[in-house]
Amino acid sequence: MSLSAFATLLERLAFTPQRGRKEQLLIAAFASQPDPDRGLMLAALTGDLRLRQVTPGLLRGLAETRVDAQLFAASYDFVGDLAETIALIWPVSGSDSPSLSEVVAELAETPKTRLPGVIAARLDGLGPSERYAYLKLATGALRVGVSARLARSSFAAWAGLPLAEVEEIWHALAPPYAELFAWGTGGPRPEAASRVPFRPVMLSTATDLEALSALDPADYAAEWKWDGIRVQAVSDGGLKRLYSRTGEDISGAFPDVIALMDFEGALDGELLVRRGAQIGSFAELQQRLNRKTVSAALLRSHPAGLRLYDALIWQGRDLRALSYDARRAVLAELPLGPQIDLSPQLPFASWEDLAALRANPPEAVIEGVMIKRRDSAYLAGRVKGPWFKWKRDPFLIDAVLMYAQRGHGKRSGYYSDFTFGVWHGEDLVPVGKAYFGFTDAELKELDRFVRTHTIERFGPMRSVARSKVVEVAFEGLNRSSRHKSGVAMRFPRINRIRDDKPASEADHLETLQAMLPSDG
Amino acid sequence: MPQPPLLIPKPEGLYCPDGDFYIDPMRPVPRALVTHGHADHARAGHGAVLATRQTLEIMAIRYGEGFAGQRQAAEGPLRLGNVDVSFHPAGHVLGSAQIAVTAGAQRVVVSGDYARVPTPTCAPFEPVPCDIFVTEATFALPVFHHPPPEAEIARLLASVAAYPDRAHLVGAYALGKAQRVIAALRQGGWQAPIHIHGALQRLCDYHIAQGIDLGDLRPATETRGKKADFAGAIVIAPPSAFASTWAQRFPDPVICFASGWMQVRARARQRGVELPLVISDHVDWPQLTATIAEVNPAEVWITHGREDALMRWCEMQGRAARPLHLVGYEEEAE
Ligand SMILES: [Zn+2]
Ligand SMILES: [Zn+2]
């Protein structure tokens, strides 16, 4: 596959809205491109082609050797995508079209010190769209509106294989996927990859009291929704793996959890920082994430554990076709320790009972309730009906817009990143930032407000007249010494514009302080 | 003694005290000079309007004959108060002009919107030597290199050939862009009828009446036709039409949009465009900077757009420049 063909494919994928048509484009590429290039293409789309040494910093530095740094910064701010900015701004062009395997090998094998020179020479030889494709390949983040799942399902459709089987072995395969393409063209299933498989996780859909009232509470069980990381713990003939819900192997970061997995099977649960019964906050769990290895000190200070929801495989038996109640009965037999236990079921006779429990959870790390149909099988993916999540209502405050910055990606060119504040005595103190929650029409209104009410500019940031009130929704509040206000919001977003309120009627910092958890 | 400024930015727009007039004012004023017929430059309700004959006629089409108390067509040099005024082609849309204001030895040229890519739909930009060149900065970032329009038309025609069962709906603003695209399609060899949305009819008719050959244009708003009749057709419409039920009459349409903004992918995706066409009636970065070098003014004034970047370029070139921060010119409508 030439880089030009790859560039054309990326462009067509990015601008083709229909999922079915994207799939057709991918199927045509699998059918027409040779090995190993089509495998590299697939890896690029699933995010598995990791050429980690090509960092954004390296590319930016390279661009600034050819273009004035200020002009580059202004361009990047406007375009919102580093690879696209460099592809467009690079001052020299050529008409080379190397193959994907050629450029991938070059990027993977070139020593770090020589990499900038090699990349610059490539950029000189390519046209703008090939440059874009090359830089996307080099940095890994394609963002062409194709999820890893869509790439895999297109592969499965092309190969005539069940998607679930492809997903089960995916984590054990590596680019350029020679074995996988061999399987897809009539060869044997890659056997080595079949050990300790990840199995697609069952997901819930959101609900509310109104929707629930049509259902019979007796048909459902309820559990707390714990605010950790949903995982699948698989132990297969002495091999143990911890997978994220998307099938990423995170075992390396959690040796303490792997050591707890004294069973034979595949279990579904929540990964939490826990010290026995005491459950740590999501912020504590974050300390443990995204690490290749973990220090002994961190293992002591932030011990991880599991709270189990479900069992997919038990002692070699596939339980997925059984009912939720039957699977939970199997789980109840499991010997448990202080760091691994069963997510308790909540007693309720009516949805109002459950609403009362949900309104007053015993721990701050609970973010709502999960409702599961007792007779439902364990199904792959987000199926509407058997499982619901009923999240805690968000907190709401009225705040005043203070600063705005232009957005990136889909929002580039719009002022879409807002800093808002609340009153503290006579002054407004910033309490958070939000860049979503509003509708497209509200975004246009806010953008216009920013442009016509700018009182000061600092680079890409504008300070605006303190007259626009917005209702901000957020999921929780923590103390923070890094913020002047002393509070940090979780997941803030702009819920609506309050043109009915003057700025003087926005909320005060005391209101927020009263929402802080008492344990600190 | 330094000369008092010939033009000063006011909330209403650029004002000339010695001639007592505004250029492209955003609000109704007693006397306005108008560079071209786009709505953000040409507004209704002024006491008197001086513009090219074609701009006046376009304003009458858009706003009705009573769009101003009085109107005067700019023909040859004129004297207004203590200043001399002349109009020069801007290459942007039919009738578009740069306005030169001269007093004594000082000349200011207000370029309005301008383009350097030739089109059969209007007279080409004419560089006018001046002391102060007033320019917009809509595409003033070095990422904007608009490809030649014939390359974009070739992409459109390739897509029409690849999807013979689908209609291609090309979003293009009613004044200028639509006709620029139609003329480029004709130059690119598309001789079949082009269907146009009803909102484009009067302005297309006006271009034809002015002697511009747009070929066989047919209305696309007829409801009697069957969907399949539009298979393989090219339909030009104002971009706003795509959000309405109007677009539903076409078979599996490919949404295209002709705009300089289409060079930025996020912009194209925001608009749900399937085939972005980078066709602009403004200058891109190389054309903008080359125009400033060619006109070679002592000072550059920047009305709106990416003024920070153009200021930076002027600084690097050792050119004096000043942002006017004029509010009210819409850069979306490119
Ligand atoms: Zn214009
Ligand atoms: Zn304009």
Q: Quickly count: other Cβ atoms within 10 Å of residue A427's Cβ.
A: 10
Q: Any CB–CB contact under 8 A between A409 and chain B?
A: yes
Contacts of B143 in chain A (CB under 8 A): 75, 78-79, 85, 88-89
Strand B21-23, strand B13-16: pairing: antiparallel
- Sign of the alpha-carbon torsion through A444, A445, A448, A449: negative
B330 part of a folded domain: no
Strand A278-279, strand A317-318: pairing: unpaired
Is residue B133 located within the same domain as residue B198?
no
Token pair listed for A200: 């697609």
The chain-wide mean pLDDT, for chain B, equals 92
Of B260, B277, B294, the residue at which a domain comes to its end is B277
Query: Are A409 and B313 an interchain contact pair (Cβ–Cβ within 8 Å)?
Result: no
Is residue B204 located within the same domain as residue B317?
no
Is A129 in contact with A11 (CB distance < 8 Å)?
yes
CATH number of A395-515: 2.40.50.140
pLDDT digits (tens, 9 = 90+) for A48-99: 887 767 888 899 999 999 999 999 999 998 998 899 999 999 999 899 989 9
List the single best residue of A25, A85, A88, A146 to mutate versus B (max B Cβ within 10 A). Answer: A88
Q: Any CB–CB contact under 8 A between A28 and chain B?
A: no
Query: Are A14 and B269 an interchain contact pair (Cβ–Cβ within 8 Å)?
Result: yes
**Cis check: omega of the bond before B147, within 30 degrees of 0:** no
Token pair listed for A266: 């595949």
Contacts of A14 in chain B (CB under 8 A): 265, 269
Q: What is the complex's ipTM, to 2 decimals?
A: 0.93
Ion ligand 1: residue ranges with CB closer than 5 A:
B 38, 113
pLDDT for the residue A161 = 93
Distances A488 to A364, A432, A484, B212 between C-alpha atoms, Å: 15, 7, 10, 62
CA nearest B247: which of B139, B161, B170?
B170
Nearest Cα of chain A lies from the Cα of B260 at a distance, in angstroms, of 13
pLDDT for the residue B302 = 96
Query: Which residues does residue A372 pair with via DSSP β-bridges, in sequence order?
Result: A221, A387
Query: Are A16 and B274 an interchain contact pair (Cβ–Cβ within 8 Å)?
Result: yes
The residue to which tokens 């059918």 are assigned = A31
Q: Any CB–CB contact under 8 A between A15 and chain B?
A: yes
For chain A, positions 148-187, list CB contacts with chain B under 8 A. none
pLDDT for the residue A362 = 85
Backbone phi and psi for residue B298, each to the nearest 5 degrees, phi listed first: -70, -25
Token pair listed for A442: 């509200």
Is residue B203 located within the same domain as residue B99?
no
Domain map (residue ranges) of chain A: 3-139, 202-391, 395-515
Q: Any CB–CB contact under 8 A between A411 and chain B?
A: yes
Averaged pLDDT for residues B226-236: 86
Strand A304-314, strand A265-275: pairing: antiparallel
List the single best residue of A12, A18, A76, A78 to mutate versus B (max B Cβ within 10 A). Answer: A78
For chain A, positions 191-230, list CB contacts with chain B under 8 A. none
Q: Any CB–CB contact under 8 A between B309 and chain A?
A: yes
Query: Are A15 and B270 an interchain contact pair (Cβ–Cβ within 8 Å)?
Result: no
Q: Any CB–CB contact under 8 A between A465 and chain B?
A: no
Same CATH fold, A395-515 and A202-391? Answer: no
Distance (Å, whole) CA A100 – CA A36 = 9
B294 part of a folded domain: yes
Give CA angle at A406 (B148, A68), nearest 5°: 60
Q: How confident is the model at residue B1 (pLDDT cuts 50, 70, 90)?
A: very low
Nearest Cα of chain A lies from the Cα of B311 at a distance, in angstroms, of 10
Architecture per CATH, A202-391: 2-Layer Sandwich (3.30)
pLDDT greater at residue B155 or residue B331? B155
Measure the N-to-C terminal CA separation of chain B; round to a whole number of Å.
42
| Nearest residue in B to A15, CA atom | B274
Distance (Å, whole) CA A504 – CA A423 = 8
- CB neighbour list of residue B1: distance below 8 Å, 6 or more residues apart: none
Gap from CA of B331 to ligand 2 centroid (Å): 6
Ion ligand 2: residue ranges with CB closer than 5 A:
B 113, 329
Q: Any CB–CB contact under 8 A between B271 and chain A?
A: no
Q: Which of A79, A84, A88 shows the shortest C-beta gap to B145?
A: A88
**A393: enclosing H helix or E strand:** none
CA nearest A138: which of A171, A113, A115, A111?
A115
* Nearest ligand, measured from the Cα of B96: 1
CA nearest B282: which of B258, B309, B265, B300?
B258
Query: Which residues does residue A433 pair with via DSSP β-bridges, in sequence order?
Result: A419
Distance (Å, whole) CA A396 – CA A505 = 14
For chain A, positions 123-142, list CB contacts with chain B under 8 A. 128
Distance (Å, whole) CA A483 – CA A431 = 8
CATH number at residue B189: 3.40.50
Query: What's the average pLDDT block by block, 10 residues per block, for chain A (520 residues)?
Result: 93 87 94 94 89 84 94 92 94 91 91 91 94 91 83 95 85 87 90 76 88 92 92 90 86 91 92 88 81 84 94 92 95 83 92 89 86 93 88 88 80 83 92 89 90 81 91 85 84 89 90 71
| Nearest residue in A to B274, CA atom | A15
* Burial class of residue A452 (count of CB atoms within 10 Å of its CB; 0-12, 13-18, 19+): exposed
Of B239, B258, B277, the residue at which a domain comes to its end is B277
B181 part of a folded domain: yes
Nearest Cα of chain B lies from the Cα of A106 at a distance, in angstroms, of 27
Is residue B124 located within the same domain as residue B166?
no
B329 part of a folded domain: no
Q: Which of B264, B272, B274 shows the shortest C-beta gap to A79?
A: B264
CATH number at residue B137: 3.60.15.10
Q: Which of B144, B268, B308 shows the shortest C-beta gap to A15?
A: B268
pLDDT for the residue B103 = 95
Query: Are B143 and A80 an interchain contact pair (Cβ–Cβ within 8 Å)?
Result: no
Query: Are B141 and A128 an interchain contact pair (Cβ–Cβ within 8 Å)?
Result: no
Q: Any CB–CB contact under 8 A between B162 and chain A?
A: no
Distances A101 to A53, A181, A361, B257 between C-alpha atoms, Å: 17, 16, 54, 35
- CB neighbour list of residue B205: distance below 8 Å, 6 or more residues apart: none
Inter-chain Cβ pairs, chain A and chain B, closer than 8 A: 69
pLDDT for the residue A345 = 93
Q: Any CB–CB contact under 8 A between A25 and chain B?
A: no
Gap from CA of B176 to ligand 1 centroid (Å): 8
Distance (Å, whole) CA B141 – CA B308 = 9
B3 part of a folded domain: no
Is residue B255 located within the same domain as residue B168?
yes
B196 part of a folded domain: yes
Widest pairwise Cα distance in chain A: 74
Nearest Cα of chain A lies from the Cα of B94 at a distance, in angstroms, of 29
Q: Any CB–CB contact under 8 A between A410 and chain B?
A: yes
**A7: enclosing H helix or E strand:** helix A3-15
Q: How confident is the model at residue B330 (pLDDT cuts 50, 70, 90)?
A: low
Is residue B286 located within the same domain as residue B139?
yes
Which amino acid is present at B176? G
Query: Which residues does residue B169 pair with via DSSP β-bridges, in sequence order?
Result: B235, B255
Is A85 in contact with A27 (CB distance < 8 Å)?
no
Query: Are B309 and A74 an interchain contact pair (Cβ–Cβ within 8 Å)?
Result: yes
DSSP per-residue letters across A347-361: P-SSHHHHHHHHHS-
Residues B157-190 as b or e (16 or more Cβ within 10 Å = b): bebbeebeebbbbbbbbbbbbbbbbbbbbbebeb
Is residue B208 located within the same domain as residue B287?
no
Architecture per CATH, A3-139: Orthogonal Bundle (1.10)
Is residue B156 located within the same domain as residue B85?
no
Domain of B309 in residue numbering reads as 8-143+282-323
Query: Are A75 and B143 an interchain contact pair (Cβ–Cβ within 8 Å)?
Result: yes
List the single best residue of B143, B273, B311 to mutate versus A (max A Cβ within 10 A). Answer: B143
pLDDT for the residue A520 = 35
Is residue B295 located within the same domain as residue B269?
no
B328 part of a folded domain: no
Query: Are A84 and B313 an interchain contact pair (Cβ–Cβ within 8 Å)?
Result: no
B2 part of a folded domain: no
Task: Report the SS3 class of residue A325.
Answer: helix
Is residue B95 located within the same domain as residue B243?
no
Is residue B138 located within the same domain as residue B154?
no
Q: Work out how many domains chain B is built from and give that number.
A: 2
Q: Which of A17, A78, A409 shows the shortest C-beta gap to B306?
A: A78
Is residue B75 located within the same domain as residue B52?
yes
Q: Any CB–CB contact under 8 A between A517 and chain B?
A: no
pLDDT for the residue B237 = 95
